[in-house]
Amino acid sequence: MIKFFLMVNKQGQTRLSKYYEHVEINKRTLLETEVIKSCLSRSNEQCSFIEYKDFKLIYRQYAALFIVVGVNDTENEMAIYEFIHNFVEVLDDYFSRVIMFNLDKVHIILDEMVLNGCIVETNRARILAPLLILDKMSDS
């Protein structure tokens, strides 16, 4: 089960965070700082899976952006690793421009893909379908 999903830039600022298990607000910042610290300090040579307290962290770097997913013990790390890549591809598909201007849409996409900690949809077309409908409605 996915516990949380973070998008962090290289300076360590959280761009997007989604928690699938309730964590208090003040604890969230603490958690994020620690997680980010451990991910940013790793070089390219090192493995993408880190153990942190009772989670496993799987991270992947794309240019200036780090995507970090925290899962519990039962998940297959490599599958999550693939999932991150899938997610980024979907985003690529949809956004021709820079993501940061449309964070709400990113949230919608993420919600389509992951529900309550489980991966539900990985088909690009189907994920983007509702968004496209929404766009069409707002245009007309």
Partner 1 sequence: MGSAEMCRDLAPEVEKLLLQPSPYVRKKAVLTAVHMIRKVPELSDIFLPPCAQLLHERHHGILLGTVTLITELCERSPAALQHFRKVVPQLVHTLRTLVMTGCSAEHSVSGVSDPFLQVQILRLLRILGRNHEESSETMNDLLAQVATNTDTSRNAGNAVLFETVLTIMDIRSAAGLRVLAVNILGRFLLNSDRNIRYVALTSLLKLVQSDHSAVQRHRPTVVECLWEPDASLSRRALELSLALVNSSNVRAMTQELQGFLESCPPDLRADCASGILLAAERFAPTKRWHIDTILRVLTTAGTYVRDDAVANLIQLIGGAQELHAYSVHRLYSALAEDISQQPLVQVAAWCIGEYGDLLLEGTCEETEPLQVEKEEVLALLERVLQSQMSLPATRGYALTALMKLSTRLHGDNNRICQVMSIYGSCQNVELQQRAVEYNALFRKYDHLRAAVLEKMPLVERGGPQVDEEAKESKEVAQLSEAAPLPTETQASKLLDLLDLLDGPSENAQHPPPLDPTPGDTLIHLLDLPCAPRPPAPIPNLKVFEREGLELNLSFVRPPGTPTLLLITVTATNTSGGDVTHFICQAAVPKSFQLQLQAPSGDTVPAQGGPPMTQLLRILNPNKAPLRLKLRLTYDHFGQSVQEIFEVNNLPVETWQ
- The binding site for partner 1 (CB under 8 A) comprises 45-51, 76-79, 81-83, 85-86, 115-116, 118-126, 130
Of the pair 86, 102, the CB lying nearest partner 1 is at 86
DSSP secondary structure string for all residues of 22-38: ---HHHHHHHHHHHHHH
Q: Based on CB atoms, which residue is closest to partner 1, 46 or 140?
A: 46
Minimum CB distance to partner 1 smaller for 83 or for 94: 83
**How far, CA to CA in Å, does 69 sit from each of 15, 42, 73, 82, 96?**
14, 16, 13, 12, 24
Return the H-helix or E-strand segment holding 115.
Answer: strand 114-115
| Closest distance of CB 86 from partner 1, Å | 6
CB atoms within 10 A of CB 3: 19
Question: Are the C-beta atoms of 2 and 116 separated by less than 8 Å?
Answer: no
Shortest distance (Å) from residue 72 CB to partner 1: 13
What lies within 8 Å, CB to CB, of 10 at 6+ separation is 40, 64, 65, 66
Quote the least distance from Cβ 2 to partner 1, whole Å. 12
Whose Cβ is closer to partner 1: residue 44's or residue 140's? 44
Q: Which CB sits closer to partner 1, 13 or 34?
A: 34
Tokens 């599958």, residue located:
79
Q: How far is the CB of 13 from partner 1 (least distance, A)?
A: 25
Q: At closest approach, how far in Å is the CB of 28 from partner 1?
A: 17
